[in-house]
Amino acid sequence: MNDQTNMAQLRYLEELKIGLVHAGFEPERIEDQHLPVRWEHHYLCRVSGKGSVLYRQENVDGIGAQDALQTVIHIAAMTAEYMTAMERAPKLQATGLEGDYRILADFGDAVLAGHPSERGVQFVTWEWDWDRKGVHHGHYFQNGYEEAKHDFVRRSGLLPKEALFEPEQLAEMHRALAFVCEQDEDLSIGREKEIKTMTLFVFDASGKIVLKRNFAASEIAGQAATIPIPDAVPGDNYSFYVIANGNIPADITTRNGLQAATEAEAASYNGTFDEVATKAKRAGGFTMTGSASKAIAAAGQTTAVQIELERLVSKIAVQAATDSKFAATYPGRVKISSAVISRAAVSACYVSGMASGAATTFSHTQAAKDQSGKYGNLFYVYGNDGSSPAQAVLLTLTGLYDRDGDFSTVTDQVPVRYEVQLQGDTGKAIARNTYRRVSVGISGLTGADVAVTITPADWEGPFNQDVNLGM
């Protein structure tokens, strides 16, 4: 590495250090062209002079650590962008302007400049004088690169003013879109409806398989196919089963064999909140099945068979937050760190209505997603048919209560734990293809008092379970 490159990388790391401190991180001394970074007093990662962010998985597994890492990655990339530009940019020459100002962008009547300072690079937008020898009406941004770029675009006319949005407008649009997503399930579950593979099984009245056929891509897209059935007898009843996105056993030869087949892949549906909230984590999509029985039409006619698919798993969305009773009784705040779903089935039959006899020992732990003081979690589980409260799927929330609301100080913190039994109507815990929204209102530091209200619905219209955790 030559001296010029070495100095440029050191300048980058020094600038990054300022930006990370501003964002609440704890960067350490630069060593060997790397900047170690701590977060909440724990080692998080290190950033190289080339802008690479290096970390160990065990250091980013804690609550909020993944979000913190992504923030570091964003700041490192942004800083690298403007520091690289600063290294190459020409000096701004303007009448009456003193100091080292570098031209980062110049268009129309506006110019964007960067100025190195002890507090980090200061960004300025100006308008040129009529002869472009001087500048006036400067807008100054300390540690505000994104804001400076936005201001330059507006002042230069690169985009029409009506195409630009102020932060308040963006916040209002975010609130509106969040409301729409909450109300319109089709926007949020499109990924949960996706079909990648589909297989049809046809059995005769004796339960013997007469046809197994995989749908072509065009048939999946159209969700329809015309399929000849070998040696079909008009008037006889046949059983039709469809399995979408499933890892189907290859040795199915009878209806009883298919009815006994199970899927035991609960772990493949679950992950971090961001993994399951933004995409179907299971690589092959959500397994869906359906069946119908139909008599074969007369010769020369088509037998119309309609099959509705259901997902093998159920969906559980959790939102927890302290309520007004808590605020009136306790100082400080509660931070939910993680949620555990347990006592769920480890497997499910492909065919609806068939008892799998599965053990109810599946559990999954997920870090809670902090959404402006409301803590979210999202799980997918196989149903549990237990009829008693002790057999119901269990939701356990753990976290910390901080008396002064400042979680950086630990001497005034105590652990908290809340348990919620996820029971449905008629005593059944969780049925396949159902959706539960569990709203947990935290009123105290224990979960001794729990009031549960459930409204039954299918996946597109969720069960609503409101839980009040009392004093």
The answer to whether residues 396 and 418 touch, using CB atoms and an 8 Å cutoff, is yes
> What is the reported pLDDT for 407?
87
Average pLDDT over residues 411-434: 79
Contact yes or no for 444/322 (Cβ under 8 A): no
Of residues 454 and 41, the one with the higher pLDDT is 41
Q: What is the structure's pLDDT at 76?
A: 94
Strands 450-455 and 53-54: unpaired
Which CATH number does 312-469 carry? Answer: 2.60.40
Taking each continuous run of H as one helix and of E as one strand, the counts in the chain are 11, 25
179-198: per-residue pLDDT in tens?
Answer: 555 444 444 456 788 888 88
Lowest mean pLDDT among 55-69, 111-125, 200-214, 282-296: 55-69
Q: Which of 29-38, 155-164, 169-178, 224-233 has the lowest mean pLDDT?
A: 169-178
The answer to whether residue 447 scores a pLDDT higher than 80 is no
Categorize the per-residue pLDDT at 136 as very low, low, confident or very high, splitting at 50, 70 and 90.
Answer: very high
Cα separation, 214 vs 222, whole angstroms: 14
55-112: pLDDT as tens digits: 888 888 766 787 889 899 999 999 999 999 999 999 999 998 999 999 999 999 999 9
Higher confidence at residue 166 or residue 17? 17
Q: Which residue has the higher pLDDT, 443 or 45?
A: 45
At residue 461, the pLDDT reads: 46
Q: What is the band of 168 on the pLDDT scale with cuts at 50, 70, 90?
A: confident
Least confident of 49-53, 77-81, 128-132, 391-395: 391-395
Band (pLDDT 50/70/90 cuts) for residue 460 is very low
Mean pLDDT of the chain: 84
Domain ranges of the chain: 3-88, 102-164, 192-310, 312-469
Give the model's pLDDT for residue 453.
32
Residue percentage of the chain with pLDDT more than 90: 45
Q: What is the pTM of this model?
A: 0.58
The strand pairing partners of 440, in sequence order, are 320, 467
Question: What percentage of residues in the chain have a pLDDT greater than 70?
Answer: 87
CATH class of domain segment(s) 192-310: mainly beta
Say what the pLDDT of residue 450 is: 31
Q: Which amino acid is it at 370? A: D
3-class SS at 76?
A: helix
Phi, psi of 126 (to 5 degrees): -130, 165
- The pLDDT assigned to 183 comes to 46
| CB-CB contact of 461 with 437 (8 Å) | no
Predicted pLDDT at 261 = 93
pLDDT of residue 301: 79
Q: Residue 391, exposed/middle/buried by CB under 10 A (0-12, 13-18, 19+)?
A: middle
DSSP string, 206-251: TSBEEEEEEPPHHHHHHT------TT--TT-EEEEEEEES----TT
Q: 19 falls in which pLDDT band (50, 70, 90)?
A: very high
Q: What are the structure tokens assigned to 244, written together?
A: 């979408």
Helix 65-88 vs helix 3-22: angle between axes, to the nearest 10 degrees?
Answer: 130
- Rounded Cα gap, residues 34 and 119, in angstroms: 20
445 or 187, which is more confident? 445
Of 308-322, 364-378, 439-453, the range with the lowest mean pLDDT is 439-453
- CATH code at 3-88: 3.30.310
Matching fold, domains 192-310 and 312-469: yes
